[in-house]
Structure 1
Amino acid sequence: MTSSATVHSGPRERTRKAILDAAMTVLADNPSASLTDIATTADVGRSTVHRYYPERTDLLRALARHVHELSNAAIDRADPTHGPAYDALRRVVESQLDLGPIVLFVYSEPSILADRELAAHLDTGDEAIVEVLNRASVDRPEYPPYPPGWARRVFWALLDAGYEAAKQDGTPRHQIVDAIMTSLTAGTVNLPRG
């Protein structure tokens, strides 16, 4: 009997998940880490990693799909279509911040981006984020309009800044979330008027 539940709960799937989880941890901290480093963290042999992922690029592509799935699941759990826009946006920020810097690794790793089909797939899934950003936005006629896709790019750039603040400065998570929300909703620099 081969049901999807059996496939996803068997030892092979647990090993695959252990390797991907280890890759998330190791590569987020050290993008040039070896497969041996990942195997050690996964508590498996290097030959086991090679059995699942014969080449480093195979592992990186699987990791990219895994992180994409985790990101989409986190967006769904954040439930961005319900409640006031500010609260929904905050839940989304928190959900994506919890994934950690592996998101940035996946979306900037050249070997992942070189696979056009995978890169196109990775560019989907954050439509709910764009929708909540649009819901939270108000027209401000005193300012020029933003270029298309600007809010989405700013969202991901602020998450990048949040990951760096946590890693390099030890900034507490709640302070990072507050800073991201303030930057998204009120801007970063407040110049005196007049």
Structure 2
Amino acid sequence: MAISSVSSASSASAWSAASRASGSGLSAEEQRIVDKLAQRDKEVRAHEQAHLSAAGGLATSGASYTYETGPDGRRYAVGGEVGIDVSPGRTPEDTLARAQQIQAAALAPADPSGADRQIAAQAARMAATARIELARQDSGSATVAAPAAADADSAESAASTSAAASSRADAYQRIGSMQSPAGGGIDTYA
């Protein structure tokens, strides 16, 4: 389990204050580095926690961190990643809901990284594909009902509308099948 950013930052600050008071050997430059690392640690942990909170049941792992050791001998998180299940659902409705949650998790931090934005774009494509499938299902039931219409003009109009929807669906399908970034982790916060 990850140490909370507040306790990490406050313990680093407490240690910094104690070391300054006791003159325990950190130069002003080393202290500046420690302070910068402590701030980075706090930002990274908050960023990854935002992903975890929004991911809910789609998180496949807790946050994992990349560390750097400061001049004070302590390890500070300078990068991180949260594993997210980005697979589609069993139904178009489920896929759409999952895609929306993935996108929300990817964009949850105040400052999403480039990798976060790529995952959000991948989720948007997955949502578009699910919407296309839902539209096909809806147009399939509308096409069956259209010939039963009493008026031949309304049947022709319904077929025309269905063909246009199918054409749009085909275009969206091509967009949805475009190459997406590999991987299922949200972010390497670097």
With structure 2 as the length reference, what TM-score do the two structures score?
0.26
More relative contact order, 1 or 2 (CA 8 Å, 6+ apart): 2
Bigger strand share = 2
